[in-house]
Amino acid sequence: MNDPIAPPATPDDPTPLRPTVGENGRRWWQDAVVYQAYVRSFRDSTGNGIGDLEGLRSSLDHIASLGVDALWLNPCYPSPQRDHGYDVADYFDIEPDYGTLDAFDRLLADAHGHGIRILMDIVPNHCSSDHPWFRAALAAAPGSDERARFWFRDGRGVDGSEPPNNWMSGFGGSAWTRVGDLPGADPDDVQWYLGTFTPHQPDFDHTNADVQQLFADALEFWFDRGVDGFRVDAVSPVGKHPDLPDQPPVPPDTHELDITWENPYTVFRPEGHDVWRRWRDVIDRYTERHPDRDPMMVAEAYAVRQPDVIREFTRPDEFHQAFTFDLMMSPWDTGSIEWALREPLELFADTGAPPAWVLNNHDIQRIVTRLGRSSAADPASWTNNPQRLPDEPVDLVVGTRRARALVAFVSALPGSLYLYQGEELGLPEVLDLPDEARQDPIFLSTHGQQLGRDGCRVPLPWTTDPATSFGFSPRPDPTAPWLPQPDWWGRYAADAGTGADAGNPMLALYRRLAVARSEHATPQPLEAELLPAGDGLVAVRRGSLVAVLNVTDRDVRLDSSTVRASIRRVFASETITDDVTGDAIDHADVSTIPPCSTVWLRD
């Protein structure tokens, strides 16, 4: 990569990092706002059409303006990019398209200078088929030490021509690949290897001592560089039943891509928890040696509607936090939303792990699109399956208003809040990317049956200028971005609008929320409770703060038991206007919650 052209980003007046433990005894990650940067699509500093670390470094002011405490970088290790970094070829270096270790060090130093910690994304379940260990395994004989790091097994059938068991891959087809079928391999090699996602992502065997050491070393390597924690990818399938038995039958209507996640021999196994205890031990020992640091790890355990699973992952000797996905997957009705809140709010009392709220990430349709359908949330939006998504138009006006209400509501809750780049701009999913542009392995391995996740990964629009790929690139006529931006993309640019409409309204909301959160929400306790609020409303009390979400499209009055005489409104996701004049007013009746919006009330 060329040398950086971005200006130095360290501000003249650096913001100190929050102390590892605040005056209230709270650890920094317990109520952090974390911004997820999909580096490839964030900002390109060289004009080659691919986002990079220098692009990210040049935009730290933008990230800091959202009140962010930490930045989570999607994997930025060297990788053939068959799953855009979730196929790691070297856990100890930086992907050349994104920069160098020096560029990483500069980013980390400048982020810390902005008061922002850095979380890396680590991928334990599998590596890339280009990883030297996997290449060595292919070149080695069955039964060798090299193969013992992965799941190589003899095939079944007379000549080993059938896979060792019936396990399916999460991205389509069998989870097994026959070694003898690979280009250049010995055609008589009767072994197969396991890849829970794609054949390019061979699964590690974490009972193997080399594998255990590799990850202990990787954690320490990045901690020594100053990293503050890890988002741990795809923890569900990391442990396997040692005998790899056939998966029991699943209900006949189970979608092919969901079969893996029903497999009791590879999903949420006790063997997986052994791995996390070892990792936690590495982290705790590191912290003992570096008492000024408080590194953490957060689990990506896709345990939707399985709160007990989240409890297990957040036991005191495992993860510090696990993502709370139920709210992201919740239909837009009060019963479902309350259900999604109840367990995470109770969890803290039992495990000390505050929730890690998520409304968006790089794997799911963007929220304004999801909530723009009346059915609102459908797990099929993970793969953008055109057959499974409801056949109804997306109303982005409705979706945007609901998204505003939901982020304002969740910002008041105890716990951490993970934001995904572009949600602060109100970006919708790009649903109509041309097939030839799509790169997600889900699209490729299902031969286009599932559109996959490219639509939420389109490079960000920073300006309204199409000549610079909407500011994604540093100069006019850059190489086209790695995924095409639609021609209407500039409407969502950070600097969109002119005159009285200047500025991106979603961005303005996120910035207002940053201020309101630190003023009214984070000073409150980490305990909170759902309140009875009235039809169409969801309300949570946290100390002296009450957040109320109105999911309906009409004014709703709060239950009188929730409103104390002294209560005042301190935040509203929508400007409250006078019915007659349309003017903004700040003295409206606090117990009336405007349509599809959130208000924060304080005693």
Q: Tokens 């390109």 correspond to what residue?
A: 44
C-alpha 193/C-alpha 24 separation (Å) is 50
Residue (86 or 357) nearer to ligand BGC, CB: 86
Residue (69 or 121) nearer to ligand BGC, CB: 121
C-alpha 398/C-alpha 403 separation (Å) is 9
Count of helix runs (H) and strand runs (E) in the chain? 13, 18
Specify which residues 324 forms β-bridges with: 357
C-alpha 300/C-alpha 314 separation (Å) is 12
Catalytic residue (one of 44, 83, 146, 233): 233
> Is position 189 an interface residue for ligand BGC (rule: CB under 6 A)?
no
Of residues 573, 579, 175, the one with CA closest to residue 410: 573
Binding mask 41-80 for ligand BGC (x = CB under 6 A): ----------------------------------------
Residue (80 or 180) nearer to ligand BGC, CB: 80
C-alpha 450/C-alpha 429 separation (Å) is 15
- Can you tell me which of 77, 104, 176, 197 binds ligand BGC, judged by CB under 6 A? 197
Residue (201 or 504) nearer to ligand BGC, CB: 201
Closest separation between CB of residue 470 and ligand BGC, Å?
24
Closest separation between CB of residue 453 and ligand BGC, Å?
7
> Is position 234 an interface residue for ligand BGC (rule: CB under 6 A)?
yes
- Can you tell me which of 44, 52, 54, 83 binds ligand BGC, judged by CB under 6 A? 83
Active site residue 233: yes
User: Are the C-beta atoms of 530 and 539 separated by less than 8 Å?
Assistant: yes
Question: Which stretches of 214-345 are assigned E, i.e. beta strand?
Answer: 229-232, 296-299, 321-324
Residue (234 or 377) nearer to ligand BGC, CB: 234
DSSP helix/strand/coil, 538:
strand
Q: Indicate if the alpha-carbon torsion angle 78, 80, 84, 89 is positive or negative.
A: negative
- Can you tell me which of 31, 300, 326, 424 binds ligand BGC, judged by CB under 6 A? 300
Task: Enumerate residues 525-554 that contact ligand BGC by CB under 6 A.
Answer: none
Residue (176 or 302) nearer to ligand BGC, CB: 302
**Cβ count within 10 A of residue 333:** 14
Catalytic residue (one of 97, 300, 318, 423): 300
Using Cβ positions, the residue closest to ligand BGC within the complex turns out to be: 86
Active site residue 333: no
- The total number of residues shown for the chain amounts to 603
Q: What helix, strand, coil percent values describe the chain, rounded to 5?
A: 30, 15, 55
Q: Give the side-chain half-sphere CA count within 13 A for 597.
A: 18
- Can you tell me which of 44, 146, 203, 233 binds ligand BGC, judged by CB under 6 A? 233
Closest separation between CB of residue 22 and ligand BGC, Å?
30
Closest separation between CB of residue 441 and ligand BGC, Å?
7
Binding mask 106-145 for ligand BGC (x = CB under 6 A): -----------------x----------------------
Q: Which amino acid is at 130?
A: D
> Is position 230 an interface residue for ligand BGC (rule: CB under 6 A)?
no
**Cβ count within 10 A of residue 244:** 16
> Is position 363 an interface residue for ligand BGC (rule: CB under 6 A)?
yes
C-alpha 395/C-alpha 388 separation (Å) is 18
Binding mask 380-399 for ligand BGC (x = CB under 6 A): --------------------
Residue (44 or 233) nearer to ligand BGC, CB: 233
Closest separation between CB of residue 363 and ligand BGC, Å?
5
Angle at 596 (CA atoms; ends 591, 599), nearest 5 degrees: 40
Residue (439 or 468) nearer to ligand BGC, CB: 439
> Is position 86 an interface residue for ligand BGC (rule: CB under 6 A)?
yes
104 — phi, psi (to 5°)? Answer: -65, -45
Closest separation between CB of residue 76 and ligand BGC, Å?
13
277 CB contacts (<8 Å, ≥6 apart)?
317, 318
Residues labelled catalytic = 233, 300
Residues that bind ligand BGC (CB under 6 A): 83, 86, 123, 197, 233-234, 300, 362-363
